[in-house]
Amino acid sequence: MVAGEPISAGNSGPWPRKSVEAARIAARAMTGAPGRMGPPGASSVARARTGAPARTAAPADPDAPAPYAQGVNDPDRERELRRLERDRRRREEGREPYFDAPASLDRWPLLTEVSEQPTMVLRVPPPRRDDEPAAAEPQRPRLAVSTAIFAAATGLSRVLGLVREVVSSYYFGATGKVNAFTVAFQLPNLVRALVADAALSAAFVPVFSELLEKGERKRAWRVASTLFWLMLLGLAALTAIFILVAPAVIDLFGNPGHDSALAVGLSRVLFPMVSLLGISGIVVGILNSYDHFTVPAISPVFWNLTIIAGLAIGVPQAHSMNTKLYIYAVSILVATVIQVFLPVPWLKGRDGRLQLVLDWRDPAVKRVFVLMVPVTLGLGLINVNAVIDTFFASRLIDANYAPTAIQKAFLVYMLPQGMFSVAIATVLFPSLSRFATRGDMDGFRRTVSTGLRQISFMLMPAAVVSAVLAEPIIRVLYQRHAWTPSQTPGVAHSLAAFSAGLVFNGAMLMLTRAFFSLQSNWVPTAIALGNLFLNAILDYAFYRFGVWGIPLATAVCNIAATWALLVLLRRRLGRMEGGAIAQTVARVAVASAVVGGVAWGIWHLLDAAVGRSFGGQVVSLGPALVASVAAYLFLCRVMRVRELETLASVWARFRGA
């Protein structure tokens, strides 16, 4: 049911009353056609329906490539006839049809000639000969630039997120009541991951992109509008329920920060951000479907800036730790409002707009929710693992230190993850969806291979350096004011343990998006469910090692999940360009091992000379990081790592611009 203003049916006009049998006869007359147009009999049926004058068919070109329309089997024919009949009934009832075009151009012979169809913008490329270059080749420079822009914007956001954590650590440290805030934030963050934001976008983008590919743009925007309002209403109701049951939920974590009442209050302040991020998932998904990535990537920059401003202005004015933590929570909520509504103006100028529509009966709306179930589990279970980690840390290790120590290490670990692997997977996701829609498996394999190689190139040296220099990194970032030297070792050890799974976590994100593009969402979901149980078992086994045992369990789970996803995707695609991937990984691994030695050696020499003060650690850590980057680029150049050439070409393109 459409609650908004009725929309015109477009150029096609209302369908005449015609029995299903007559449509079946017309379809049967066309199914023997070798191409799109059908035989002369089919064309005459079309002219009889439309009243168009007869046309003289042009003689066939013997040198033309073979027709590329797929054959139509009986189930497809019956399904199309049912679809046409359903749309005819909706037009008679004065309602918007589900399909703007009478038929899909990629799988069904038309009931009229192409010239008589409504105008549609199609991204489907024409058939090509074997000696022509692949269709994906011209897109590579554009995708590389988009990836670089997105990575730069995301990287800036991650750096500011790190600044936010530095400011937070300055005021709150890692021990005491701040652990109540850590637990309180985990709960809305978990729900956000399960039903909003990235999970919703991952289910929405393939459906929305497919509708755009088929020229059904009015319907695509109607589906987006329906989902926008359904998510807002549903998540608002969920927020109200959580506010009521928050005490029972917090009680599961024991007594975080030795103040469970504070944790309950903070969680109630933070939970409304779930409703806001639900509608953000739709807005960001629309922009990404149009290959617009910059503004969605910049929005978190303003999120972080708002929180930093709230901490810097509000916390010094407060006189109790509870008040300071509430200021922190309110700053996050205000920042979320800014993040959600900042990209909205960039929806203008597209070929549609969001409206007040609740057409939940559209099959595409249902399909988004069906896809969202495994997507929610596949992406959200990662955050379920984080909550399980927090549970073990708070219950079995140290409720007054372990939750925040693990969280601070995790945020540093996610810096390269957000700058590179998230950027690469996000930019390539719409392309993967389009390749899957077109059935271009060669382009699909090539894109997946490119993503995995780029992630390895970027993340492997970052993982090695963050492991060997974990303690000076944590010392420089956090150790000041409320953060004492005794709080640093546990966080540093956690960072080193997390780093062991950094590359695999990035690869897992790319492979999961590949399955989502194929709309085989239950495959990564099943693996994520298995990982959930494996993570709980390893947490219980490794917590005896101390705080860093929990991150080590996470790293082992990342390795296991990546292996499973690779095996299953290779079975699905037949091959994965494994030789190119293995060659890049081997060369990058050698270069990263050397870089780790260089970074540690330089830091160790300077550390002994300048001491452990903040200034001394900056002096020793800075040159070590700069030298490691230079050594890595040099070694990759010597070993002719292809991804370095891509990086150089993107840099040259930016300089030229």
- What is the per-residue pLDDT for 355? 80
- pLDDT, greater one: 49 or 480: 480
Contact 508, 561 (CB under 8 A): yes
Between helix 402-416 and helix 363-392 the angle, nearest 10°, is 130
- pLDDT, greater one: 111 or 380: 380
- pLDDT, greater one: 149 or 47: 149
Q: How far apart are CA 307 and CA 311, in angstroms?
A: 6
* pLDDT(332) > 60: yes
* pLDDT(653) > 60: no
- What is the per-residue pLDDT for 91? 65
User: Mean per-residue pLDDT for 43-60?
Assistant: 42
- What is the per-residue pLDDT for 43? 39
The reply to whether 29 falls in a domain is no
* pLDDT(135) > 60: no
User: Mean per-residue pLDDT for 149-178?
Assistant: 85
The reply to whether 280 falls in a domain is yes
Confidence of residue 650 (pLDDT cuts 50, 70, 90): low
Distances (CA, A) of 73 to 36, 38, 80, 86: 15, 15, 11, 20
- pLDDT, greater one: 505 or 4: 505
Confidence of residue 336 (pLDDT cuts 50, 70, 90): very high
* pLDDT(94) > 70: no
Instruction: Quick: pLDDT tens for 613-633.
Output: 888 889 999 999 999 999 999
- What is the per-residue pLDDT for 628? 94
- What is the per-residue pLDDT for 106? 35
Contact 364, 13 (CB under 8 A): no
The reply to whether 270 falls in a domain is yes
Instruction: Quick: pLDDT tens for 386-435.
Output: 889 989 998 889 888 999 999 999 989 988 887 787 778 877 888 888 88
Angle at 365 between CA 364 and CA 371, to 5 degrees: 85
Query: pTM of the predicted model, to two decimals?
Result: 0.66
User: Mean per-residue pLDDT for 157-161?
Assistant: 82
Which domain, by its residues, includes 572? Answer: 143-576
- What is the per-residue pLDDT for 608? 86
The reply to whether 456 falls in a domain is yes
The reply to whether 642 falls in a domain is no
User: Mean per-residue pLDDT for 161-182?
Assistant: 91
Instruction: Quick: pLDDT tens for 248-284.
Output: 999 888 888 889 999 999 999 999 988 888 788 888 8
* pLDDT(236) > 80: yes
Confidence of residue 652 (pLDDT cuts 50, 70, 90): low
Mean of per-residue pLDDT scores for the chain: 77
The reply to whether 203 falls in a domain is yes
Name residues whose C-beta falls within 8 Å of residue 60's C-beta, 6 or more positions apart in sequence: none
- What is the per-residue pLDDT for 86? 65
Name residues whose C-beta falls within 8 Å of residue 297's C-beta, 6 or more positions apart in sequence: 149, 150, 153, 154, 157, 423
Burial class (CB in 10 A: 0-12, 13-18, 19+), 256: buried
Instruction: Quick: pLDDT tens for 186-228.
Output: 888 888 877 766 667 777 888 888 888 777 888 888 888 888 8
The reply to whether 23 falls in a domain is no
Q: How far apart are CA 418 and CA 308, in angstroms?
A: 19
Instruction: Quick: pLDDT tens for 281-312.
Output: 888 888 878 877 777 778 888 999 999 999 99
- What is the per-residue pLDDT for 641? 87
- What is the per-residue pLDDT for 498? 95
- pLDDT, greater one: 408 or 63: 408
- pLDDT, greater one: 17 or 333: 333
* pLDDT(334) > 50: yes
User: Mean per-residue pLDDT for 541-553?
Assistant: 93
Number of domains in the chain: 1
Residues in the chain: 657
DSSP string, 131-168: TSPPTTTTHHHHHHHHHHHHHHHHHHHHHHHHHHHHHH
- What is the per-residue pLDDT for 440? 86
Distances (CA, A) of 188 to 44, 185, 366, 449, 523: 61, 6, 25, 35, 26
For residue 511, the SS3 value is helix
* pLDDT(105) > 50: no
The reply to whether 627 falls in a domain is no
- What is the per-residue pLDDT for 88? 66
- What is the per-residue pLDDT for 167? 93
